[in-house]
A and B are shown apart, each in its own frame.
Chain A
Amino acid sequence: MYYIIEDTINGILMGSIYGLTAMGLTIIFGVLKVVNFAHGSMLMVGMYLAYWAVTLSGMHPYLAIVLVAPAMFLFGYTLQNFVIKPIFIAEKNVREPLTVIIVTTGIWYILDNLTLLIFGPQYRSLADNPLNGQMLEIGEMFISVPKLYGCITAVITALGVYWFFQKTDMGRAIRATSMDREAASLMGINQYKIYNVAFGIGAATAGIAAVTLVPFYNVFPTVGVLFDIKGFIIVVLGGLGSIGGALAGGIIIGIIESVGPQFMTATWTEAIVYGLFLVVLFVKPSGLFGQKHDW
C-alpha cells in the first residue's frame, strides 16, 4: 500500500514538472492559436543553458533560473519576431495559419540538430549537484527532493503567470488579444508585439522547467522530443489554452506513469496515456478544464 502512495506522490511531483514543461505550449496556443512544435526544442535549449551555467560557475542549479528564464524570454521573443511573425503577416487572411505550425517544426529540426552538431549526441548530467539523488524519507516512503523542488517551482510559476495575466496591463492586453484579435487591434493593441511577448513568456516557462529538470535529468540534443509529445497530450487533456489545465494534465500523466507500472508493463502505461488522450478528444474535446471550443 505504501508503494502506491509513494508512487502517487512521486507521480504528482513529476507530473507537475511535466505540466510546467507544457505550460508555455498552452500559453502560446492560447494567444497565437497555434501549436508550437518547437516547444520541446526550446526546453532543450533551456536545459543546455542551465547545464552549462551550473557546470561553468558551480552555482546551485536553481540559481540558474535568474539567468535562464530571462535568456529564454529573449530567445522566444526574438524567434517569434524574426521567424514566425513574417508568416503570420503573410497569412493574415487565413483563419488558422497551419503554415505557422510547419515553421515551428522547421525550427525544431534546426535547433535539435544544431545542438547535435555543436555538442554531440552524448548524454550530459549534473552529477555532483547538491540535489542529485536526494531523497526525503517520510516513514517508509522515499520522496525525490529535486522533484519536490520542481513541483513547488511549477506551482509558483503557474501562480505567477496567472497573476501576470490577471493583474498587469500587459497581461490584460495579452488576454484581450487571445479572446479577439480584431477587437484588440481596434483598441490599439499591436497584435504582433503581443505575440512576441506571449512567445517570450512561453519560452521563459520552458526555461524554468529546464532548470527544474537539469538536476536529475540527462541533457541531450533530442531530449525535447520526449517532452514535446507529452506536452501535446497534456495540453489537450487539460484544455488547450488553460494554464491550470496544463498542470492538472501533467499531474494525471505523471500519476499514470508512476503508478501504472505496479499493475502492468511500462509499455501499456504509455499506451494508456495515448488512449486516454484519444478518449478525451472524443468525450470532451475541449479538454478536462478547457472552455467550450470556440468554433
Chain B
Amino acid sequence: MVLLEVRGMTKEFGGLRAIDSLDLTIEKGQIFGLIGPNGAGKSTAFNCIAGAFAPTAGVITFNNETINGQKPWNLCKKGLARTFQIVKPFASKSVLYNVMVASFATTNSRQVAEEKAIKVLESLNFADKKDILSSNLTIADRKRLEIARALATEPKLLLLDEVMAGLRPNEVDEMVEVLKKIREQGTTIFVIEHIMRAIMALSDRIVVIQFGKKIAEGTPKEIANNENVIKAYLGEDYVAA
C-alpha cells in the first residue's frame, strides 16, 4: 500500500529552484532513504511534505489524501511527524516535558500523555534522562529527543532529517538499531542521511537528488553502483572503500 506519494513537487525561493519536479512513492512499512550533496534540497523537500512550506507546484498525497498546503499541526495529527536537522528542543524544559508536548497530539489527558511519553522514552532507552533539562543534553541525546518527540505523536510516517549527523560511530550503530525497531513496530520511515554506512544498511529504497532533481532511485546496491551517483555524490573513494 502506498503511504506517501509525491508528484512533480517544485519549490522556488525567489529565483532559486530548490526542488525541481520531484517524484517519489513510499510504501507502507518501508525505510526510504533520501541522499544528495549539501544544498541539494533534501530538507526543503521535507519542509514541503510536512507543511512548513507550501510547495510552488506538485501534488503530495498522504494516506490517500492530498495534503498540499495543509498546516503542519494538522498533518501531525494525521500521522505525519518530522524531526529538524537543526534540533529545536524546548530548551527550558525537561526531556519528559518535551515529549509530553508531542504526546498531547492524540490525547487531552495529562496522565495519558505522561504515560505515553514515558513509554516512548523507554523504547528509546532514554527514560533515565527524563528529568534532565533538554538544554543540558549532549548532541546525540538531543537528536534522540527529536526522534522521541516525533514518535510520541504516534506517526504513520516519520521524517528524519540527519538524525545521525554528529554522532560517534558506536552511537550511529545504536541509532540504526533504534530505527529498525521503530519500523518493526509499524512506522514507515523516510530518512535523510549523509552517513552512507547507515543509510545503506537501513534503507529498502533510496532516492538521490542533486540541485533539486532526482538523479537516481533504487535499492542501496543499485545506488552504490550507479555511475551518476558516484560522480555526483559518493565520489570514487566510496567505491574503493
Q: Which residues on A are within 8 Å of B, measured CB to CB?
A: 93-94
Expressed in whole angstroms, the Cα–Cα distance for A139 and B91 within the complex equals 67
Contacts of A93 in B (CB 8 A): 91, 135
Closest residue on chain B to residue A94 by CB atoms: B91
The 3 lowest CB-CB distance pairs between A and B, nearest first, are A93-B91, A93-B135, A94-B91
Specify the chain A residue showing the minimal Cβ separation from B89.
Answer: A93
Residues of B within 8 A of A94 (CB): 91
Residues from chain A with a CB closer than 8 A to the CB of B135 are 93
3 A–B contacts from the bound complex (CB under 8 Å): A93-B91, A93-B135, A94-B91
B118-141 toward A: CB 8 Å interface, digit per residue (1/0)? 000000000000000001000000
A175 to B91, CA, bound (A): 29
Interface class of chain A by DSSP: loop
Bound together, the chains give a CA A94 to CA B135 distance in angstroms of 11
Which range contains the number of B residues in contact with the other chain? under 10
* Chain B residue at smallest Cβ distance from A93: B91
Q: Give B135's nearest chain A residue, CB to CB.
A: A93
Chain A proximity mask over B69-91: 1 for CB below 8 Å, otherwise 0: 00000000000000000000001
User: Distance in Å from the Cβ of B28 to the closest Cβ of chain A?
Assistant: 33
Residues from chain A with Cβ under 8 Å of B91 in the complex: 93-94
Contact count A vs B, C-beta below 8 Å: 3
State the Cβ distance, B146 to closest chain A Cβ, in Å.
16
Q: How far is the CA of A10 from the CA of B91 in the complex (A)?
A: 52
A77–B202 alpha-carbon span in the complex (Å): 54
Q: With the chains together, A93 CA to B88 CA distance in Å?
A: 10
**What is the minimal beta-carbon distance from A141 to any residue of chain B, in angstroms?**
46
Q: Smallest CB-CB separation from B91: which chain A residue?
A: A93
Distance in angstroms from B175 CB to nearest chain A CB is 24
CA distance A94 to B92 in the complex (A): 10
CB distance from B29 to the nearest CB of A (A): 35
Q: Which residue of A lies closest to B86 (CB)?
A: A182
| Chain A nearest Cβ from B81, distance in angstroms | 21
Alpha-carbon distance A231/B121, docked complex (angstroms): 50
Complex interface residues of chain B between 159 and 213 (CB less than 8 A to chain A): none
Measured in the bound complex, the distance between the Cα atoms of B142 and A93 in whole Å is 14
Minimum CB distance partner of A95 in chain B = B88
Q: Which residue of B lies closest to A182 (CB)?
A: B86
Q: What is the minimal beta-carbon distance from A100 to any residue of chain B, in angstroms? A: 17
**Closest chain A CB from B77 CB (angstroms):** 22
| Min C-beta distance of B18 to chain A, whole Å | 16
Bound form: Cα–Cα A69–B91 in Å: 41
Interface membership of chain B positions 209-226, coded 1 if the CB is closer than 8 angstroms to chain A and 0 otherwise: 000000000000000000
C-alpha spacing A34/B135, complex, angstroms: 24
Nearest chain B CB to A242 CB, angstrom units: 18
Minimum CB–CB distance for B54 against chain A, Å: 13
Q: How far is the CA of A100 from the CA of B42 in the complex (A)?
A: 35
In whole Å, how far is A274's beta carbon from the nearest beta carbon of chain B?
Answer: 32
Taking CB atoms and an 8 Å cut-off, the chain B residues in 28-78 that contact chain A are none
A251 to chain B, nearest CB (A): 30
The residue in chain A whose Cβ has the minimal distance to the Cβ of B88 is A95
Query: In whole angstroms, what is the CA distance A94 to B88 when docked?
Result: 11
Complex CA distance for A93 and B135, rounded to whole angstroms: 9
> A93 to B89, alpha carbons, bound, how many Å?
10
Q: What is the CB-to-nearest-CB distance from A14 to chain B, in angstroms, rounded to a whole number?
A: 38
In whole angstroms, how far apart are the Cα atoms of A94 and B90 in the complex?
Answer: 10
Shortest Cβ distance from A293 into chain B, in angstroms?
14
Q: How far is the CA of A94 from the CA of B89 in the complex (A)?
A: 11
For the complex, what is the distance from the CA of A93 to the CA of B134, rounded to whole Å?
A: 12
A21 to B91, CA, bound (A): 38
| Contact digits for B11-28, partner A, Cβ 8 Å, 1 yes 0 no | 000000000000000000
What is the distance, in angstroms, from B95's C-beta to the closest C-beta of chain A?
Answer: 16
For the complex, give the distance between the alpha carbons of A94 and B91 in Å: 8
- Within the complex, what minimum Cβ distance (angstroms) separates B1 from chain A? 36
Q: Give residues of chain B (89-130) contacting chain A, Cβ–Cβ below 8 Å.
A: 91
Q: A292 to nearest B CB, angstroms? A: 11
Q: How far is the CB of B91 from chain A (nearest CB, A)?
A: 5
Task: Tell me the smallest distance from the CB of B40 to a CB of chain A, in Å.
Answer: 18
Q: How distant is the Cα of A93 from the Cα of B92 in the complex, in angstroms? A: 10
Q: Shortest Cβ distance from A226 into chain B, in angstroms?
A: 38
Q: Report the bound CA distance from A93 to B136 in whole Å.
A: 12
State the CA gap A93–B137 with chains docked (Å): 14
Q: Nearest Cβ distance between residue A219 and chain B, in whole angstroms?
A: 44
With both chains docked as a complex, state the minimum distance between the C-beta of B51 and any C-beta of chain A, in angstroms: 14
Minimum CB–CB distance for A255 against chain B, Å: 34
